[in-house]
Amino acid sequence: MPVLVMKFGGTSVANIDRIRRAAKRVGIEVANGYDVIVIVSAMSGETNKLVSYVDDVSPLYDAREYDAVVSSGENVTAGLMALTLQEMDVPARSWQGWQVPVQTTSAHSAARIEAIPSENIMAKFSQGMRVAVVAGFQGVSPEGRITTLGRGGSDTTAVAFAAAFDAERCDIYTDVDGVYTTDPRIAGKARKLEKISFEEMLELASLGAKVLQTRSVELAMRFGVRLRVLSSFEEYDETAGTLICAEEDIVENKPVVGIAASRDEAKMTLVSVADRPGIAAAIFGPLSEHAVNVDMIIQNIAEEGRTDMTFSCPIDQVKRAEKALNEAKEKGEINFHDLIADTEVAKVSAVGIGMRSQSGVAAKMFQTLRDEGINIKVISTSEIKISVLIDRKYMELAVQALHDAFELEKAS
């Protein structure tokens, strides 16, 4: 039988009633002739509670024991889902990561999946099991220890299973009914997309859209896994949600498909840095070593052998960035006059694969922001994306104005 992967997030399994509702969705797909692999998250709020327990017991915790504790939430959900399906007369079994086994690296709390052997679960399917309920977010290291994949890792688990089992599709059930042209809480005219390409979804996910974990989209694009994002709270409909697929599966590409925004940004400027070969490596090497996620970079025109270097990073990494750069300065690796952190900025981005073939997107974006009196601090572009840093207080205005300018409320 064909295999279908269904993933249910924390809000979709937050209590027994919601688990029963999710199980009914699974039962429908079983009746449609699928062998189903269900990936479950912990019940909503459960992982946060478990993390707080670890922090209370041991602020400087052993990462191996941290994983052992925080992975337990998914185990509870998997068992309850399997029991619920059994009560519906659907042959189901729960599987923890080590039982599959989901083979990962040894990087506790940030492990990466290396392989998912299919033999164990496929053997059970051949013996009459119709649903394998797998605890998401977790795996097992080469040393035999439980590992976790990082927050949101159940999305990655689901896509990895879809790739390993050559699933027809991977359905991600969440508390939203699809991918929108922008955050509906900011722009009331936001429209749900019927389809979006892997590349566009990857950009939106990395730029602030919270629908899918970035790693899961990367994995889906790499292995060609067709993803569908849909709500577990709406009535079942085969055409529901948003399909994330290859570019060639989309008939017509608008120049811009969505506007993303992230308010948790900071702009950092090194003032009067020596303008010499290797200075960029001297700056961004220490930042990388301190796990600072640098995004936008701009270097000003040099004057008398000195220049200013500006970059953006997540706001919660500012202290780490300051520590890295000041230590590099003390060691004599770099020399700068001042380090200025602006923590009152936001990043707004326009994304669309149609930019490759249609000109004028940047001009329209900059004109729109100018008309609204919004000053651009930093600009970054790629083949299918234009991002700007602006004052955070103008973020909602910018999103609304750009959504209107590119007429994203219209389907075509």
Indicate if 7 and 140 belong to the same structural domain.
yes
Is the alpha carbon torsion for 310, 315, 320, 323 positive or negative?
positive
- Whether residue 250 lies inside any domain: the answer is no
**10 Å Cβ neighbour count for 61?**
15
Query: Which tokens in the block code for residue 227?
Result: 């993803």
Distance, CA of 305 to CA of 395 (rounded, Å) = 36
Amino acid in position 229: V
What is the model's pLDDT at position 152? 81
Element (H, E) at 320: helix 318-330
Last residue of a domain, one of 148, 175, 202: 175
**10 Å Cβ neighbour count for 385?**
23
Number of domains in the chain: 2
What is the model's pLDDT at position 62? 92
- Whether residue 248 lies inside any domain: the answer is no
Q: Calculate ∠ Cα 124-130-131, nearest 5°.
A: 90
Indicate if 166 and 264 belong to the same structural domain.
no
Buried b (16+ CB within 10 A) or exposed e, 154-191: bbbbbbbbbbbbebebbbbbbebbbbbbbbeebbeebb
Distance, CA of 398 to CA of 236 (rounded, Å) = 36
Last residue of a domain, one of 129, 154, 175: 175
Contact (Cβ atoms closer than 8 angstroms) between residue 351 and residue 257: yes
Please report which residue ranges of 279-392 form alpha helices under DSSP H: 279-289, 318-330, 361-371
Question: Which residue stretches of the chain have pLDDT < 50?
Answer: none
160 contact partners, CB below 8 Å, separation of at least 6: 102, 113, 116, 219
- Please report, for the domain that includes residue 341, its CATH number: 3.30.2130.10
Indicate if 158 and 268 belong to the same structural domain.
no
What is the model's pLDDT at position 302? 66
- Whether residue 297 lies inside any domain: the answer is yes
Indicate if 170 and 284 belong to the same structural domain.
no
Starting at the edge strand found earlier in the chain, the sheet holding 242-245 runs 92-95, 131-135, 35-40, 3-8, 169-174, 227-231, 242-245, 195-197
Indicate if 171 and 263 belong to the same structural domain.
no
- Whether residue 354 lies inside any domain: the answer is yes
Residue ranges making up the domain that contains 63? 3-175
Distance, CA of 375 to CA of 316 (rounded, Å) = 24
Q: How many residues does the chain have?
A: 412
Last residue of a domain, one of 175, 191, 224: 175
Indicate if 165 and 275 belong to the same structural domain.
no
Q: What is the pTM of this model?
A: 0.82
Q: What is the DSSP letter of 234?
A: S
Backbone angles phi, psi at 108, to 5 degrees: -60, 135
- Whether residue 212 lies inside any domain: the answer is no
Residue 25 C-alpha from the chain's centroid: 24
3-state helix, strand, coil in the chain (%, to 5): 40, 25, 35
What is the model's pLDDT at position 252? 63
- Please report, for the domain that includes residue 39, its CATH number: 3.40.1160.10
Amino acid in position 384: I
- Whether residue 336 lies inside any domain: the answer is yes
Q: What is the DSSP letter of 210?
A: -
Distance, CA of 212 to CA of 336 (rounded, Å) = 39
Query: Which tokens in the block code for residue 141?
Result: 């290291």
Numbered residues of the known binding site: 7-10, 47, 74, 174-175, 180, 185, 210-211
Residue of 228, 120, 226, 246 whose CA lies nearest to 163: 226
- Whether residue 201 lies inside any domain: the answer is no
Distance, CA of 27 to CA of 408 (rounded, Å) = 36
Indicate if 143 and 14 belong to the same structural domain.
yes
Residue of 225, 363, 336, 222 whose CA lies nearest to 282: 336
Numbered residues of the known binding site for ATP: 7-10, 174-175, 180, 185, 210-211
Task: Give the residue carrying structure tokens 């090497």.
Answer: 285
Task: Give the residue carrying structure tokens 């504790």.
Answer: 69
- Whether residue 45 lies inside any domain: the answer is yes
Residue of 240, 235, 216 whose CA lies nearest to 7: 216
First-to-last CA distance in the chain? 38
Indicate if 263 and 171 belong to the same structural domain.
no
